[in-house]
Chains A and B, each alone.
Chain A
Amino acid sequence: MLGYLPQRLGVPPTTVLRDLTALVAAVRAVPLADALARLADIGLGDRAGATLAQLSGGQRQRAMLALAALGRVEALLLDEPSISLDTEGAEEVRAEIRQARSRGTAVLFASHHLHDVARLADRIVVMVDGRVAAQGTLPELAAAAGVSWNEVVAEAPIERIYRILVARRRGGSVAPALVLLRGDAA
C-alpha cells in the first residue's frame, strides 16, 4: 500500500483532525483507537479535536505524515514534506521520515531542501526541467560533479554538488531533487 503526502494540505483546512484520522483508519482497516494512539505518539493526542488550521505548521505536517503512513504502508511518496516549515517543524518532519524508514517503509520524496536530501537520502535523483540530470548516492554524485570532501570531518557540500550538476545540464534554473530512502522492506 502506498501513502502520499501532497505539497499543499490536501484537505480543507477546516477539517477536524479526528474526522480525518477516522477516515484514514477506516480506509486502511486500522482500528480507530490505534490511529488515535498514533496521534498521541507524535504528541498530538490532545489536539485530535482541533481543525488542521488550528495546528502549527509543524504539527500539521507531522499529523499528515503520520496519517499518510498509517497502517501497512510499504512506500511513502512525499512532495516537499518540509517546505514552509520553521527549523523546529522541519526537524520534526525529518524525525518522522527517519521513523518511517526504520519501520521498513520505502520513502520517495521531492525536495528543494538540499540539506534534508543530504541527511536523509540513500539515493538521490537530480531532476532538471522534468528530466533526470544525475542519480546515485551522495558520494557518487559528488564524484560525478568533481567535488571532494572528507565525510568524517565535514558535511557534504550538497549545494555545490547540486549547482554543478544542474549547471552542467542546463545552467541557472533550480529544480527539485527527487530522493529515494530505502527502508528495510524496500
Chain B
Amino acid sequence: MTARALLRFDFAAARRGRLVPLFAAGFALASLALALVGLSAGGVVVVQGFARTSVSLLQLVLWVVPLLGLVLGAVAGVECHELEFVAALPLSRRAIVVGRWAAWVVALGAALLVGLGAAGLAIGSLAGAADGLRYLALIGVALLLLSAALAIGLWIGVAVGTRTRAVAVAIGAWAVLLVGTDLAAIAALAILPPGDAGWELSLLLVANPVDSARALGLGLFRADVLAGPTGAALRRVLGGWGAWALVAGLAAWTVGPLVLAGRRFARRDL
C-alpha cells in the first residue's frame, strides 16, 4: 500500500507538468511523419513497409529517448534533495528513489506508447500487419532504453545535486552514449590487430545502452537485408545468446544506476 501511495504521489508530480503531453504529441507527430515518409519511399510499401519505417523510427528513438530520459531523470534526481519532508516519513530512501524512477517510466512510457502506437497504426493500416509483432518488440526495446536512461539520469541528479550541473552532465552523458562510444569503437578498430576485435566490440555494444538498443532494434528487422555487410556482421553478433546479452545489458543499466542512486541518496544529509 505504501509503495502504491509513493508511486501515485510521484506519478502525480511527473504528469503535472506540460512535458509529458508535449513529449507524447511531439513524438507522435515525428513518428507519424517518419512513418509516412518511409512508406512513400522506394515503392516498398507492400513488402517491407513496416521493416523500413521501423528502422527510421529506431533512429528517432535512439536520439530522443535517451536525451529525455537522462535529462528528466537528472531533474527528478535533483528533486530528491527537496524531499526532506517525505524523507522524514517512515519510508526508505531507496524506496523514494525507485518510486521517482518508476513514476517517470510510467509517465514517459505512456507518452512513448502514444507516439509509437500512432505510427504503428498508420503503418499497419497503410502497409499491412506484416512484422507487427517485431514492431511491438521494437516498442519494448524503446521502453527498456527509456528505463535505463531514466535510471542513469536519476543517479546523475542524486550525485550532482544542483539542477544546472545535473542537466549539463546528463547532456554530456547523452553525447558520450550516442557518439562517444562509437568513436571509441572506431579507435579500437584502428589500434587492434585485424580480426582480433570481435569480443571487445561486443563488450562495447553491451556496455552502452544506446548501442544495445540500436543493435537489438536493427536485429529485429533483419538488418542483414537492410544494412548490407554491416547488418550481416551485426547478425553474427546477435546470433545465439547475443540478443539476450544485450537485453540483460539494458536491464543492468537500469538496476545498477538505481542501486547506486539509492545508496548515494541514503547517505546524503538533506
Contacts and interface: CB of A to CB of B under 8 A. Distances in A.
Contacts of A4: 85, 88
A174 interface: no
A5 interface: yes
Interface residues of B, number: 21
Contacts of A19: 8-9, 12-13
Given A19-B12, A22-B5, A10 B84 contact: yes
A119 B4 CA distance: 42
Interface in A18-75: 19-20, 22-28, 64, 67-68
A108 to B, nearest CB: 14
A173 interface: no
A150 interface: no
B91 interface: yes
Contacts of B4: 26
B1 interface: yes
B2 A26 contact: yes
B133 interface: no
B269 interface: no
Given A11-B85, A12-B82, A19-B13, 4 more contacts: A11-B83, A16-B12, A19-B9, A26-B5
B97 interface: no
B106 to A, nearest CB: 15
Interface of B: 1-2, 4-6, 8-9, 12-13, 16-17, 79, 82-86, 88-91
B13 A14 contact: yes
A85 B22 CA distance: 37
B79 A12 contact: yes
Kindly list the 5 A-B residue pairs having the minimum CB-CB distance in the complex, ordered from nearest: A10-B85, A26-B5, A4-B88, A10-B84, A23-B9
A5 B86 CA distance: 10
Contact of B85 (A9, A14, A26): A9
Given A4-B85, A9-B85, A27-B91, A14 B16 contact: yes
A10 B91 contact: no
21 contacts: A1-B90, A5-B85, A6-B84, A6-B85, A10-B82, A10-B85, A10-B88, A11-B82, A11-B83, A11-B85, A12-B13, A12-B79, A12-B82, A16-B12, A19-B12, A22-B8, A26-B2, A26-B5, A27-B5, A28-B90, A68-B85
Nearest to A7: B84
A16 B12 CA distance: 8
Contacts of B17: 14
A15 interface: yes
Interface size class of A (residues with CB under 8 A): 20 to 34
A8 interface: yes
Nearest to B11: A19
A8 B227 CA distance: 56
A1 B79 CA distance: 26
B13 A22 contact: no
Contacts of A28: 89-90
Nearest to B99: A23
A20 B83 CA distance: 11
Contacts of B13: 12, 14-15, 19
Nearest to A6: B84
B89 A64 contact: no
A25 B9 CA distance: 12
Nearest to A25: B5
B16 A16 contact: yes
A19 B82 CA distance: 16
Interface in A55-108: 64, 67-68
Contacts of B82: 9-12
A16 B91 CA distance: 20
Contacts of A1: 90
A12 to B, nearest CB: 5
Contacts of B5: 22-23, 25-27
Nearest to A14: B16
Nearest to B82: A12
Interface centre among A8, A12, A16, A26 (most CB of B within 10 A): A26
Nearest to B6: A23
B28 to A, nearest CB: 25
